[in-house]
Structure 1
Amino acid sequence: MSKTDRLFRLLHLIRGLRPPVTAARLATAMEVSERTIYRDIDSLRAAGARIEGEAGLGYTMIEDPALPPQTFTQIELEALTLGLADVNQSGDADLAQAANDALVKILATLPERQQRQAMHAVNLVHRFYRPATPTIDMTLLREAMWAEEALDIGYRDLKDTRTERRIYPLALSYHDRSVMLLAWCCKREDFRSFHVTRIDGYRNTGESFRPRRVPLLREFIGHMRTRDRAAEVGPA
């Protein structure tokens, strides 16, 4: 591995591992000596990277706008363009526009050679089916999740029975033909998945459920994985 490739790999590890990351851990991951790690960290700092810490204590990467433009491998560019293209096809109008805008911003930071690679990616997306267009404002729904604020919603189930619910919105889950809102239902005191196309109205309540969103979502996903494993095994 050339020194340039090694420095990019080291930068990626320092950014990605839980800080502070020790030189010993970096040396093991890089398969080099700790002395090499110390020299390479000095090189990264000289190039403008803000890396806090020292030998024996560990290192933390501080993001800095003075860093040079991000560099991706070709397969990383393929993954990036594929993911954003999928968002463009499966997301609502605001999300699709955000994917296009994000790609433009990312391309603008890349060297010319990598811009060409991204624009002529070999992986393409074509979905024969798209989720139905929701009638509610998805941006406002996402904002409620970002703010960790409870919502009062009107919901029609598969039998077209309408109910009023107070929910803690946790996440949006995108499926082949539908988008589901994962939430804690205060009425049922349990987790529920709501088809967003069956939500016929909602209002902000001003009730915060911070900081419960992350643990609730983690628990919800755990329940779904347990259910899926049980379905794969089948009845005893």
Structure 2
Amino acid sequence: MARPDRLFRLLDALRRLPPPATAARLAAELEVSPRTLYRDIGSLRAAGARIDGEAGVGYTLTEDPALPPQMFTRMEVEALMLGLAEIRLSGDPVLARAAETAAARIIATLPERVQRQALHAAQEIYRFEPRQPAPPNLGLIREAIWAECALDLRYEDNAGQSSQRRIWPLSVVWLDKSLMLLAWCCLRNDFRRFKLHQMSEVTQSDESFRPRRVPLLRAFHTRLRGQGKAQIR
């Protein structure tokens, strides 16, 4: 691994891991020897990073030169921490890890007083009934949305009828107990809503619908607002 990449990963690990992070834990994260780890800590300190701690005790990143300082009000900090905590409980391990990393990076940019507010927020989230695990095709669907590529799939509707579809995926909506995909259905030549847990055999096609996703999604939202709480098909 190139040294600049290793130093970037070390900074990221110091943001993410509960402080103080031991040298052994940091070395394992970077897959380097303790000697290399100590040398990299010294390099980051020389570059302006304020890293408290020492060998045998652990290290804490108290001032991060790689990120500009941020300022939020106390209520904005509460909102950020609650929102990220909700994502960590979503049932999607990829998003949960992203939320954890995002929280660590945000906290690392805050002044010390605001950092304490973020780490000891007045409100927390806990769910007695955890959400069901995210379906295995969620990652593929997300990538297709961003790439604006059509998906081929088999769908079983609420009546148990199965059909083969090609769709243009527009957005995933997180409902109370399930996930729903807003899409343009090429079979029906119209907007449709699909429950992700009723989709199977999902594959990405070579067909691109770029750059139509944003205007299609805007039109779909306009229709949904006009319909109110319509039945999910």
Q: Give TM-score, length-normalised by structure 2.
A: 0.66
- The Cα of 1:230 is off from its aligned counterpart by 9.5
- The Cα of 1:70 is off from its aligned counterpart by 1.3
- SS where residue 163 of structure 1 aligns? strand
> CA separation in 1, counterparts of 2:230 and 2:139?
35
> CA separation in 1, counterparts of 2:102 and 2:125?
17
- SS where residue 188 of structure 2 aligns? coil
Q: Alpha carbon RMSD of aligned pairs, Å?
A: 2.2
Q: 1:117 to 1:172 in 2, by over 3 A?
A: same
Q: Which amino acid in 1 is paired with 2:192?
A: R
Task: List aligned pairs for 1:91-170, cutoff 5 A.
Answer: 91-170=91-170
Q: 1:133 to 1:144 in 2, by over 3 A?
A: same
- The Cα of 1:125 is off from its aligned counterpart by 1.8
CA contact 1:133–1:197 (8 Å) conserved in 2: no
Q: Which amino acid in 2 is paired with 1:119?
A: L
> CA separation in 2, counterparts of 1:127 and 1:226?
33
Q: Which amino acid in 2 is paired with 1:223?
A: R
> CA separation in 1, counterparts of 2:159 and 2:132?
18
CA contact 1:136–1:200 (8 Å) conserved in 2: no
**How many matched pairs?**
167
Where does the alignment leave 5 or more consecutive residues of structure 2 unmatched? 1-64
CA contact 2:88–2:97 (8 Å) conserved in 1: yes
More deviation in 90-99 or 206-215?
90-99
Aligned to 2:225: 225
Q: Which amino acid in 2 is paired with 1:173?
A: V
- The Cα of 1:133 is off from its aligned counterpart by 2.3
Q: Give TM-score, length-normalised by structure 1.
A: 0.66
1:53-82 Cα shifts (integer Å, max 9, x gaps): xxxxxxxxxxxx988311111111011011
Where does the alignment leave 5 or more consecutive residues of structure 1 unmatched? 1-64, 232-236
> CA separation in 2, counterparts of 1:98 and 1:229?
31
Q: Percent same amino acid at aligned positions?
A: 51
